[in-house]
Chains A and B, each alone.
Chain A
Amino acid sequence: MTAPVYDVAILGGGIVGCAIARELTRYRLRLVLLEKECEVGFGTSKSNSGIIHAGHHSGPDTLKGPLEWAGNRKWDVLHEELDFGFERIGELMVAWDAEQVEILEKYKKRGEDRGVPGLEIWDRDRVRREEPSLSRDIIAALHAPTAGVVNPYEVCFSLIDSARHNGLEIRVETTVTGVAAVEGGLRVDTDRGAVAARYVVNAAGLFADRIAAAAGAGDFRIRPRKGEEYLLDKRLRGLVRRIIFPCPTATSKGVLVIPTFDGTIMVGPTANPIDDKGDLSTSSEGSDEVFDQVRRTVPGISPRDCIAEFAGLRAVADGEDFIIGPSAVKGFINVAGIQSPGLTAAPAIADMVRDILADEGLALSANDDFVPEVPKRVIVSHLDTAAQVALAARDSRYGHICCRCELVTEGEVVDAIHAGAGTLDGIKFRTRAGMGRCQGGFCTWRCMELLSREMGIPIEQVTKRGGGSWLVCRREDLEEGSAA
């Protein structure tokens, strides 16, 4: 085999893989990212709470702790350069009794030791004034203004768009099956052929243990811990202004009330260990647990307002901490066990991995062509009327409605398709088409037609999210056993 084509191969395109890939494009390197799903971010990174944690949640003796705070501080710059929604709306950790107030004090001190600014304990009156929907039984709360919310999938898309513009090569629907040492580096085997690279970064989330084991680069185990989340109708927009955390117990962070970046209120997550890494089902027990618990914090929330639900799987390593570092196999770096606050920490993890690669001998010389900014997407619903009128006059597709609940136009859907969305879910997470109240009743067919038209495929080949997720078939197919 000839010398490896790539300097670094990144395995897994979750938030961690995307952040690392984008960071590395600042240097003159040949980079490839391999992702098994049809889109980046379609593992755990699109199915989480979307919180940029304030910096005081994770304990001091962990890797998570400092990375949470280091990560938190990088989001303003990322937000300026890239194209995703982010707002530091702040969080409140609430207490019902004096014992819990002591816990709040502990968190406050922990944050202050780390340098987290603005931490403040609010009394009952202040809590009531600032968040009138909270339970009257709450006696105090710890306010942390540094907490924020993002749409995590948007961050992945945007990071990868930036990385791609700066030279990253990306292969989706490509599953890594093994890694072996070869002359001058490592060979990564996939279901679509092999790739050789001098360095490999294992950011495969839930499956990082299997890949590490196959490479002989670690014998840690990753166990999935499921979190179910429930989205509420827009009617409740503004019910709370900040992220509400119950005072954590020894075993659980509890059920949160999250005003997502789009204004939809989300409640969750649960935390249940499971066995199957592909099990993304939600359960009636989970929903009962979420709504029962959340009523203690915000009594006005009812399951009747639920419009959608989903589950995500935390990739939990044995010691509960992140595993980041070189391995027994030269050139093979593990970035594993990235459970919460992995989203928050991702930009700091990327810096750390860059430094590890440099220590391991990767020469980093600046890529003078690196452009930090990505072109901003057109989002018609964010424009004022005059701008909307002008845009639609220039290109009528931006006046043609596709998703009515979220006001997404044909032009935006076509943009998403050209940016790499090849499926209905790809469009949904890039444009919000299908995320609203009617949950795709109106726009599904329109999006399917646009996918078919723009990609030049027959309508029955359009899928929900790749693989066997077909949407419609033809009468002629009825006799056959399998889908189009």
Chain B
Amino acid sequence: MITERPLHLKKKYDVVVAGGGPAGMAAALGARDAGAESILMVDREPMAGGILWQCIHNGFGLHHFKEELTGPEYAQRYLEQVIEHDIDILTDTYIYDIDRDRNVQLMSGERGIHVLESRSVVLAMGARERTRGAIRIAGSRPAGVLTAGLAQKFVNMAGVLPGRRVVILGSGDIGLIMARRLVLEGVEVLGVFEIMPHVNGLGRNVVQCLHDFDIPLHLSTTVTEIHGRDRVEKVTVAPVDENLVPDLSKSWDIPCDTLMLSIGLIPENELSRRINLRLDPVTTGPVVDSTMETSVDGVFACGNVVHIHDLVDFVSQESELAGRGAGAYLTGHRPPADNIRLVPGDNVAYCVPHTISSDREHTVYLRVRRTEGKCTIKFGDAYAKKLLYVFPAEMVTVTLRPKFLQEFHGDSLRVDVVAR
């Protein structure tokens, strides 16, 4: 398995891609295809591929490669292309600063600290997991409280187990996948507790990871307290009312040694803040136009940095676009600038990209705020599409064709999801 090729680090690059996960790899390839000559992809882990290496389950690539792959297989396919396309890869290296003139500061154990110039930058740093502090679970602070992603790293990358008797809080996809993974390792998984009345991960994961392994799922229930001095000894759980307030009179204790959290991801935007990009308060990622360019010239962003995706296939798609944008920025063959702003309306939390152009086709990603049965998604009066159901955990993807926008002469389009 090749994961890298020898590298003579240049002082100046056409494109530096920050992050070598699925987003970074697709962006690097997109930039190459659009004419960028020297491209450097940087990742802080010892190997490019990002979180995919620890996702040893299948379910990747159905949309993109039209076949079902495991995470590492998906990573490997991309990485081979990246290497074939002569893209420089620098791993175990951390980008800790980028300024508005796109000077990139790198830290690496092997090569020390470097400052490079880059004509354009693609931000593809991914996301981090929400932790205990973000939801302020009461109780003590023992060892044995960890995020699902860290547990996944322990089990799949390091070959050690996070504990013996595990309670899972939150029904995000990584948590569901890890529930099954831990059972397969012989760990007792005592249940998945979700404060919302619905699961936060994909439906197929509920079936394949919980039902098939008899792992109890408790909806509208949350962990209210952690007990134990040195190591977790038990957790208290309680059902919640419609305002998500726990009813402690109905609480019960579960003896366990581990509490695993799968309570969501947050875009990783340390670098975006350093460059002073304009951020969307809902996604917490950068505001982007239809080429995935941010508010700063020549700086592009894609993948979980921009908004949290459920499927890697869409990350690849969006990121290739960002890479192409960076390439076009260099060659000057840029498409016409955007002329329409998308404004989230009824039951729409956000739309990405934030602006589009009436002359070409766009894929618009959005999330709703509430679950809804049969409904219609409307882009002003320009376009409407019927949906069978929507719910916050599943991203909605809509393709907007130029023919719908030709009749539209305003400068902003309100996007609503309304019941039928």
A residues sitting closer than 8 Å to B (CB atoms) are 230-231, 278-284, 286-287, 303, 306-310, 385, 388-389, 392-393, 396-397, 399-401, 404-405, 407, 409-410, 437-442, 444-445, 459-460, 463-475, 477-478, 483
Contact = CB atoms under 8 A, between A and B. Distances in A.
B111 interface: yes
A401 B133 contact: no
B398 interface: no
Interface stretch (B149-157, B204-212, B324-332): B149-157
18 contacts: A230-B136, A281-B138, A281-B226, A282-B136, A310-B141, A385-B115, A388-B113, A397-B109, A404-B96, A409-B107, A437-B128, A438-B131, A441-B129, A444-B146, A459-B158, A464-B143, A475-B185, A475-B186
Given A401-B94, A441-B149, A392 B112 contact: yes
Given A385-B113, A393-B112, A445 B136 contact: no
Chain A interface SS verdict (over half)? mixed
A284 B224 contact: yes
B132 interface: yes
B229 interface: yes
Interface string B156-178: 00101111100000000000000
B191 interface: no
Contacts of B146: 444
List the 5 closest pairs (A to B, CB-CB), nearest first. Answer: A400-B109, A464-B143, A468-B230, A308-B133, A392-B112
B221 interface: no
Contact of B143 (A389, A410, A445, A470): A470
B92 interface: yes
Contacts of B110: 396
Given A404-B94, A438-B128, A306 B161 contact: no
A464 B258 CA distance: 14
B272 interface: no
Interface in B117-143: 128-129, 131-134, 136, 138-143
A445 B158 contact: yes
A467 B138 CA distance: 22
Interface residues of B, number: 52
Nearest to B163: A473
Given A284-B224, A389-B113, A439 B132 contact: yes
Contacts of B160: 459-460, 472-474
A287 B96 CA distance: 34
**Chain B interface helix/strand/loop/mixed:** mixed
A469 B270 CA distance: 31
Contacts of A444: 146, 150
Contacts of B140: 279-281
A303 B141 CA distance: 19
Interface string B83-125: 0000000001010100000000101111111110000000000
Contact of A441 (B44, B111, B150, B227): B150
Q: Which of A307, A310, A469 has the most CB of B within 10 A?
A: A469
Contacts of B112: 389, 392-393, 396, 399
B181 interface: no
Contacts of A470: 143, 230-231
Contacts of A459: 158, 160
A301 to B, nearest CB: 14
A463 B107 contact: no
A54 to B, nearest CB: 30
Given A281-B139, A475-B186, A438 B129 contact: yes
Nearest to B133: A308
Given A401-B96, A410-B109, 20 more contacts: A278-B229, A281-B139, A286-B138, A306-B136, A385-B105, A389-B114, A399-B107, A399-B113, A404-B270, A405-B270, A409-B107, A441-B147, A444-B150, A464-B143, A470-B231, A471-B143, A472-B163, A473-B164, A474-B160, A483-B231
Contacts of A441: 128-129, 131, 147, 149-150
A464 to B, nearest CB: 4
A389 B115 CA distance: 9
Contacts of B133: 231, 306-309, 439
A438 to B, nearest CB: 5
Contacts of A445: 150, 153-154, 158
B138 A283 contact: yes
B225 interface: yes
Nearest to A397: B109
Contacts of B69: none
A223 B44 CA distance: 48
B364 interface: no
B187 interface: yes
A399 B109 contact: yes
A282 B138 contact: yes
Contacts of B92: 400
A474 B161 contact: yes
Interface string B56-84: 00000000000000000000000000000
Nearest to B149: A441
A307 B134 contact: yes
A468 B147 contact: no
Nearest to B110: A396
B162 A472 contact: yes
Contacts of B109: 396-397, 399-401, 410
A406 to B, nearest CB: 11
Contacts of B257: 483
A475 B185 CA distance: 7
A459 B141 CA distance: 21
A405 B96 CA distance: 10
Contacts of B150: 440-441, 444-445
A468 to B, nearest CB: 4
A459 B149 CA distance: 19
